[in-house]
Every structure is written in structure tokens, then in C-alpha cells.
Amino acid sequence: MDYKATLINKEGHFGAFGGRYVPEVLVPIMDDLRDAFFMATEDEHFIEELKKLHRTYTGRPTPLYHCENLSEKLGGAQIFMKNEGLLHTGAHKINHCLGQALIAKRMGKKRVIAETGAGQHGLATATVCAKFGLDCTVYMGAKDYARQRPNVFWMEQLGATVIPVTDGDQTLRDAINAALRDLISHPEETHYLLGTVCGPNPYPAMNTYFQKVIGEEVRTQIEDQTGGPPDYLIACVGGGSNALGLFYDFLDDEHIKMIGVEAGGKGVSDHEHAARFQGGSVGVAEGFKSYFLQNGDGQLSSTHSISAGLDYAGVGPQIAYLQESKRVKFTYAIDRDVMSAYQLLAQTEGVFAALESSHAVAEVIKLAPGLKKDQSIVFNCSGRGDKDLFIVTKELGDEGFKTFLAEELAEVTKDSGTA
């Protein structure tokens, strides 16, 4: 089976999934973007420029690190971490942001819009826009806007306009809808820099193309370190961009097993989770056909996860295809296990993984002890965890941090009182 060829194709259909379910006004916009993207992939200058910027600006290649302490502690397989958290802006998101910014420039677009949940994709978008001199607007659900103030501040510092979206649940889905509406209203001058392998064609194929560098690097790096290919690949799955980034290059190596980890939230038996393959069904929304958490009428559900980056009712269409064809196995991690995984990785290896990536770590902890010592697991540490400071301190009930916040607040209030 030729998975690689199937997952990056011009029509944007992956088995029954994907497609371009957009209002007619967006059809020419998506078609132009598709043509510009596929043309760029055949242009040596484009490929060179992308490579050069990865080397000099984003910080590629990222290290593949042998987690010897964690491997020893778990007593099974050798565990390797692909550390995308060391990239500029702290996560793999910069890979497709840089790629799409170069495409936007090639197309002569002056204005870039993006959606963001926790703010990481928005931050990466604002970063590349600052670098390339593009006007940047980021849509963010009003709830996310309120609870992710640090990222809003950084985006604004980078020159972006951040717009809180007050529709619906006021989270990521509403931000995507708002961004699509903006694009519908200003289709000619705007590039919509969509932040995962979701959305209408060509976004899933295009973002996979820009993310596949992760797995390509892993292939050489693991060969250098162990003399052979890995046995298992593990990544968390929100939309699916970091998972496809790690998996893609290995998809046609049949003996390599792959596991995608969804957000189990408070548990998948109730509705407070974001695990689409646990109770989701096939649907069409936000321009693509895939698995969605939805009710019997097809109304999309509200989701919950400790990590904002996985808190989304839909999953990328290529991911749905890999699930249906059983090439990738899907499981989930619940919030509580994610927190333990986050702490264990920090204490054994000195690495704060993002809460998203800690879902992958949670699966590593389950899987590794049952494997042999000469087997290897590579997991994608898709982002670093310092962005989660406020969530983690709250989750762990850290008294010192609470006092710190209270004192900061008193200080700020006092200053503004006397001003």
C-alpha cells in the first residue's frame, strides 16, 4: 500500500475523507492555493529557501534524544524523544507556518489570517508574519482569549491583531469559522494560514508536506544512534499535524508500528473529552470530511482536554484514513495520566513537554515496559511545556504560585490605583 502517495495528492481526497466542502466563493481561492503550493514543491529555489530558513531561523534539525533514564526506569524499550520543542516559538507549528508564509509571499498576498486555540499556532503565525512583513490577524475564541492572555500579549507584541470571537462555545472551532468568514469576505488579498492538517484541500496535504521533515530527520538520526529503524512511533493527535509530521516518512515501512494518542480528557465514558475515535462519527464541517464528535443530528459537540491544542471536535482527514485502514493505532490518555507523564519526563530527563506532547509520553509509559530492551520507541515531543505554566501550577495546586499571583495582582492594582 502506498500511503505516502495517498496522503499528499492534488485532489485532497484520502479514501472517503478530505475534500473541499466550501462555499462556492472559496472554491477559486482554494484552487489557486493548491496550484501555488504544488508548483512550489517542484521549484528548487523554494525548497532551498525553506531549508535555509529552517537552518538559520527556526532551528532545524531538532535533536533526537535517547531518554536513557526514562528507558531504564520503565525497564523495557529504548525511548527516543524527537524534540520539536526546541524550535523557535517552542513547537512544531512553526514548520507549516514558515512554509505557508513562503507560499503566501509567492502568491503576492499581503495579509495573513489564522485561527488559534491556546495561542501557539497564532504565535507562530504572528512570528513569521513579523519576519516577512505580512499584515497579521489572529482569531481566537473569546474564552481562549481570556484564559491565554500571555500568548495574546506576545502576538500583539509581534504586531498581530488578535480578535476574540464571541460566537458559539467561544473556542477553537468558532475561531476557525470566524477565520473562514474573514476569508470569504476578503478572498483576494488574504492568505488563511490554517494551523493543522484539517480544513479543505489543500491544507491537509500542504501542512503534511511542511511537517514531514520531522520524520525525515528521525530516519537518519535513529539510524545513526541505533543502527536501524525504530519499532514504534508515538505522537499525540489534535488535528494531527505533529503526528503526520513524525509518521509520514515511515508510512510505507510496514514493520514500523505507529500509535496516535487522543485527548481522553476526564474520561471517554462521559462527554468531557476530545477523542474522536472514541464515540465520534463521520461528518463534514469546516470544509472537510472526517471523524467528528457530534450528536445524532450532526451538531458538533463541545470538547474538553487539559491541553488546549488537542481540544477540538474534528480530526484531520488523513488521520481518519490512517485509522480506517488500520495503518495507525489510536488510543487516548486522560488528563490525570497526562499530568503524571509530564512530571515523570521532567524529573527523569529534565524536559518539560507541552501538555499536548505529554499525551504521547503517557502512552510511552504504558507501552515501554512490555517491550524488549533492544526495541525502540520514538515519540514526538511536539512542543515545550513552559507555555503551560498557568495550567500546570493550577492543576498541581501549587500554593507558592498562588501567593505569587496574588502578590503580583496586589502590586498591579496598587500601581494603577496611585497612577
Partner 1 sequence: MKKLNSQLDKIQSSGKPGFMMHMVAGYPDLEQSEKIATQILDSGADLLEVQIPFSDPVADGPVIARANEVALKNGVTVGTSLLMIQRIVASTEKPIVIMTYFNIIQNYGVEKFCERAVEIGVQGLIVPDYPFDEEKDNSLIKYAQANKLALIQVIASTSRADRIQEIIKHASGFIYCMARTGTTGRKTDINIQTINYLESVRAGCDLPMAVGFGLSERSQVQALKKYAQIMVVGSALINEYADKPLDEGLKRIKKFMEGLIGN
Residues that bind partner 1 (CB under 8 A): 13, 16, 19-25, 27-29, 167-168, 173, 177, 180-181, 184-188, 281-287, 289, 292, 294, 296-300
Identify which of residues 22 and 193 has a Cβ nearer to partner 1 in the complex: 22
Q: Which is nearer to partner 1, 167 or 223 (CB)?
A: 167
Distance CA 354, CA 68 (A): 20
Closest CA to 59 of 100, 96, 88: 88
Q: What is the enclosing helix (H) or strand (E) of 243?
A: helix 241-247
CB of 321 to partner 1, least distance (A): 13
Q: Which is nearer to partner 1, 189 or 374 (CB)?
A: 189
Q: How far is the CB of 270 from partner 1 (least distance, A)?
A: 19
67 belongs to the catalytic site: yes
What is the rounded distance in angstroms from the CA atom of residue 258 to the CA atom of residue 252? 12
Listed residue (266, 115, 281) closest to 199, CA to CA: 115
Catalytic residue among 67, 97, 198, 381: 67
Which residue, 150 or 298, has its beta carbon nearer to partner 1? Answer: 298
H helix or E strand, kind and range, residue 122: helix 120-132
Q: Catalytic: which of 92, 96, 121, 191?
A: 92
CB of 18 to partner 1, least distance (A): 10
Q: How far is the CB of 199 from partner 1 (least distance, A)?
A: 11
CB of 175 to partner 1, least distance (A): 12
Assess whether 92 carries a catalytic annotation.
yes
Q: Which residues contact residue 62 at a Cβ distance below 8 angstroms, ignoring those fewer than 6 apart? A: 82, 83, 84, 86, 87, 214, 217
CB 342 within 8 A of CB 352: yes
Of residues 70 and 175, the one with the C-beta less far from partner 1: 175
Between CA 155 and CA 129 the distance in angstroms is: 10
- C-alpha dihedral, 131 to 137 to 140 to 146, nearest 10°: 80
User: Would you please indicate which residues are annotated as catalytic (active-site) residues?
Assistant: 67, 92
